[in-house]
Each structure stands twice: as C-alpha cells, then as structure tokens.
C-alpha cells in the first residue's frame, strides 16, 4: 500500500471523544516503551507524526491518524509500566479497555512485543483478554535491530510456547525495526488485505 497522506486528527481521553466510527480502523498497543509510536511513524513514512520518547508513558490517550483519507491508524497508551502512578494506570486501562471492546470499526489490533524480552505476564494476559473477547489481533515483535537472529528465534519460541498453553493456533506474526524500516511492507499489506475483506462483507 502506498501512503499518500497521514494526518493527526485527535487525541481522545476516552472512547466517547473518539471520531465517528465511520472508517476502518487499526490499533497499535503494547507495553510502555515497546515502540508503538515509532512503528506508526515508520509505517506511514512521516517520522514526526506520533510523538515518541525514551521515557515510558509518552502516549497517554487514544490518538487517531487519518491515512489516505480513508482509514484510521490508532496509537494507544502503553500498559504494564510500573512507574506510572496506580490511579493513572487504572484510567488508561479503563479507557483502552472500553475502546477495544466497544469500538465498532476496529478491524484489528497489533499487539507489540519487545523482541529482547522473555514472555511478559502483562503481554500474555492481555492477549488472553483479547482472545476471550474475540478481538482480532496480530503480534509484532519490535526492535529487532537490537538483537541477533538466534536471540529473536528464542524470543518467538518462548512466546509461542506461552501462548499455546491457552490457544490452539497462533495469531499472524510480524517483525519490525523502526530503525531499519523492517516489517513495513508486510504490515501495510496485511492492513490492506483486512480492509478488502471487510469491504467485501458489507
């Protein structure tokens, strides 16, 4: 897919303030600092579209970007970061949770996982929640430029093992590096295919 335009539309603290659900939408979620905003910038080719930071907890609300005037890409607040005060963490969880469960036009969530880490409880339990709630999702292993091929294989094997305790099959899986623009074609192709399947069913 060619990205012709990418526009920041709005930042919404809760579902109620989000734009009208009248376009296909794809969300990016994962632990704080996993690289959601960086991946969005890499995918769109606009390096300053979503705000990134070395400090976890940068993205604090639901950010909508309009792509090619026809679909939304959504940057969501990170979960599982211990240094954020409990009250704020609870607010994010509530607003992201409500968004995920009730956003009618959400076609798919990309769950980002840091390639360098062994399976994290928060990731596994979040994906379990998505499965139980029948929310379609993919895994994206991020920051692959920071590890070797062998280390990446190990991370994926451990993640697969942890998931197969709950699941009979694994979700679609991608690998990304915002630094090397790895995964761009594959993720955009998946988004395009999902939109085509969706328009064939309505």
Residues forming contacts to Mg ion in the complex (CB under 5 A) are: 36-37, 58-59
Interface with ligand GTP includes 63 (CB under 6 A)? no
Question: Could you tell me what percentage of the chain is helix, strand and coil, using 3-state DSSP and rounding each to the nearest 5?
Answer: 40, 25, 40
The residue among 152, 89, 100 whose CA lies nearest residue 126 is 100
Residues 155, 25: Cα–Cα separation, whole Å: 29
User: Running DSSP on this structure, what letter comes out for residue 15?
Assistant: G
Q: Name the binder of 143 from Mg ion, ligand GTP, none, CB < 5-8 A by kind.
A: ligand GTP
Residue in 24, 27, 78, 171 binding ligand GTP, rule: CB under 6 A: 78
Interface with ligand GTP includes 32 (CB under 6 A)? yes
Enumerate residues 6+ apart whose C-beta is below 8 A from 188.
Answer: 1, 3, 43
Interface with ligand GTP includes 108 (CB under 6 A)? no
The residue among 56, 64, 52 whose CA lies nearest residue 8 is 64
- Nearest approach in angstroms of CB 38 to Mg ion is 8
Q: Name the binder of 53 from Mg ion, ligand GTP, none, CB < 5-8 A by kind.
A: ligand GTP
- The owner of tokens 């009208």 is 20
Q: N- to C-terminal Cα distance for the chain? A: 21
Residue in 6, 26, 27, 52 binding ligand GTP, rule: CB under 6 A: 52
Q: Which is nearer to Mg ion, 77 or 171 (CB)?
A: 77
Q: Are 139 and 164 in contact (CB under 8 A)?
A: no
Q: Which is nearer to ligand GTP, 95 or 195 (CB)?
A: 95
Residue in 43, 178, 187, 191 binding ligand GTP, rule: CB under 6 A: 178
Q: Are 171 and 138 in contact (CB under 8 A)?
A: yes
- Nearest approach in angstroms of CB 89 to ligand GTP is 12
Residues in the site for ligand GTP, rule: CB under 6 A?
32-38, 52-54, 56-59, 78, 142-143, 145-146, 177-179
């Amino acid at each position: 897919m060619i990205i012709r335009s990418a526009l920041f539309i709005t930042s919404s603290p809760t579902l109620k303030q989000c734009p009208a659900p009248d376009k296909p939408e794809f969300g990016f979620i994962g632990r704080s600092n996993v690289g959601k905003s960086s991946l969005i910038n890499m995918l769109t080719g606009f390096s300053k579209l979503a705000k990134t930071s070395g400090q976890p907890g940068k993205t604090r609300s639901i950010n909508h970007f309009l792509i090619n005037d026809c679909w939304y890409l959504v940057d969501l607040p990170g979960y599982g970061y211990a240094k954020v005060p409990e009250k704020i963490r609870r607010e994010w969880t509530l607003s992201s949770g409500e968004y995920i469960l009730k956003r009618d036009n959400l076609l798919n969530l990309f769950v980002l996982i840091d390639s360098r880490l062994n399976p994290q409880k928060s990731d596994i339990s979040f994906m379990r929640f998505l499965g139980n709630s029948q929310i379609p999702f993919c895994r994206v292993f991020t920051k692959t430029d920071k590890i070797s091929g062998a280390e990446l294989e190990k991370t994926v094997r451990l993640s697969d093992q942890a998931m197969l305790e709950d699941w009979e099959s694994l979700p679609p899986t991608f690998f990304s590096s915002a630094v090397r623009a790895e995964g761009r074609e594959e993720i955009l192709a998946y988004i395009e295919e999902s939109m085509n399947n969706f328009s064939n069913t309505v």
